Structure 1
Amino acid sequence: MFDLIEIKPGTFRANLLNEDDIKSYSLKTNTNWCVVSSKISTRFVCRKIFKCHHSSFHKKTPEENKKGKSKNSNCQAKIEILIKLSTKDTKKKDVYVKDGLPAVISIQNDHNHTVVSGEALSYLRPTRDVNIQFEEYFNSGLGISESIKIHEEKIELKHGINSTELANAHMNPKYRTVRYWYDEWKKLNLGPHSGIGVNKVHL
């Protein structure tokens, strides 16, 4: 757990040292964030700017998207994180660095879309822990559909049959995601279907 102090509306100081807490923030707020800027300098540890995954960053406009629903709602929500160096000089100039809060976090959290509807939750990226869980299903001999079924049953047992967690792709990935994971797992564990590298079966 990390310490977070609001020094003015939308601006916080925290004891962040890496990006793990951004992932935690994403999980707790049902949002995804894309890195749009990342800088390293001798004047600070790092500086990153994150935009909501419904921003226009690296996306076609809804009119240009011919494949289906567009994630681009031109959302302006963003997070900027600056982690200052912890030195004698910075501790003298910045009392928060001295108190072990070297990170300056600026949050513009005005999403132009809901973050709790079933559709919004379905756009979220699955966590690495969920990915690992499905790899365990595959290792135990389960296929795609079987893995999805047992995973949803676990969610229902823990959160209820009609819980929003079932629609939340953070913890309940879509079929195409599970299929991709399964294909990658097969390549790693069973080898390609044909050509060089095919595993031979000895009868």
Structure 2
Amino acid sequence: MFDLIEIIKSTYIKSYSLKTNTNWCVVSSKISTRFVCRKIFKCHHSSFHKKTPEENKKRKSKNNVYVKDGLPAVISIQNDHNHTVVSGEALSYLRPTRDVNIQFEEYFNSGLGISESIKIHEKKIELKHGINSTELANAHMNPKYRTVRYWYDEWKKLNLGPHSGIGVNK
């Protein structure tokens, strides 16, 4: 039997998200007689669980991925977004990649704090892509401060121990 979740997580959705500067959320995962398994994804900017249908009757972008017996996979894409996908604001809502997370962990292991890590990372992006590049606004490559703070807090718990209670490093 196909494990569609692994197919989606490992290849299709990740690569499609990176190429189109979008993020996708699972709307439904249905079991049916026609398909072995099926998942429907919607763009994370859609109105799913945010507004009533009457408030937002604009076009919705969605990916409909299902697997039929005898076929590797069928993917249908309805690429009508009701928002821009190339503006600085839209790019800032993207999820950072695992590679960026690892890069920040290396900064923390080198003794840098949150602000220093962000400054060095932004300088590297500016040197590679230019000072006015869209990569500075793209959260896939340049995460927000609160994301880096979360990563730093997780890194501190793992490497330095908790702030209080059992296991505090003195």
Superposed displacement of residue 42, structure 1:
8.8
**Cα distance in 2 between the residues matched to 1:108 and 1:69:** 8
State the secondary structure of the residue aligned to 1:35.
strand
Q: Deviations over 1:39-94 (max 9, x none)?
A: 46797553211100011223367999999999xxxxxxxxxxxxxxxxxxxxx999
Written as runs of structure 1 = structure 2, the 5 A alignment for 1:113-152 is: 113-152=83-122
Structure with the larger strand share: 1
Q: Which consecutive residues of structure 2, in runs of 5 or more, have no partner in the other structure? A: none
Superposed displacement of residue 38, structure 1:
2.4
> CA 1:106 to 1:183, structure 2 compared with 1: closer, same or farther past 3 Å?
same
In the comparison of the two structures, how many residue pairs are matched? Answer: 170
Query: For the Cα contact (< 8 Å) 1:152–1:172, is it kept in 2?
Result: yes
State the partner residue of 1:161. 131
> CA 1:69 to 1:139, structure 2 compared with 1: closer, same or farther past 3 Å?
farther
> CA 1:53 to 1:5, structure 2 compared with 1: closer, same or farther past 3 Å?
closer
> CA 1:199 to 1:163, structure 2 compared with 1: closer, same or farther past 3 Å?
same
**Cα distance in 2 between the residues matched to 1:188 and 1:8:** 30
Report the TM-score, using the length of structure 1 for normalisation. 0.65
Q: Which consecutive residues of structure 1, in runs of 5 or more, have no partner in the other structure? A: 13-21, 71-91
Q: Deviations over 1:162-195 (max 9, x none)?
A: 0000000111000011001100110111111111
Percent of aligned positions that are identical = 95
Report the TM-score, using the length of structure 2 for normalisation. 0.77
Superposed displacement of residue 153, structure 1:
1.1
**Cα distance in 2 between the residues matched to 1:151 and 1:188:** 22
> CA 1:110 to 1:46, structure 2 compared with 1: closer, same or farther past 3 Å?
same
Query: For the Cα contact (< 8 Å) 1:96–1:102, is it kept in 2?
Result: no
Query: For the Cα contact (< 8 Å) 1:10–1:107, is it kept in 2?
Result: no
Query: For the Cα contact (< 8 Å) 2:29–2:38, is it kept in 1?
Result: yes
> CA 1:41 to 1:2, structure 2 compared with 1: closer, same or farther past 3 Å?
closer
Mean Cα deviation higher: 30-39 or 103-112 = 30-39
**Cα distance in 2 between the residues matched to 1:94 and 1:60:** 22
**Cα distance in 1 between the residues matched to 2:141 and 2:41:** 22
Q: Which of 14, 18, 23 is the matching residue for 2:14?
A: 23
Structure with the larger helix share: 2
**Cα distance in 1 between the residues matched to 2:165 and 2:73:** 51
> CA 1:54 to 1:97, structure 2 compared with 1: closer, same or farther past 3 Å?
closer
Query: For the Cα contact (< 8 Å) 1:126–1:171, is it kept in 2?
Result: yes
RMSD: 7.8
Query: For the Cα contact (< 8 Å) 1:11–1:107, is it kept in 2?
Result: no
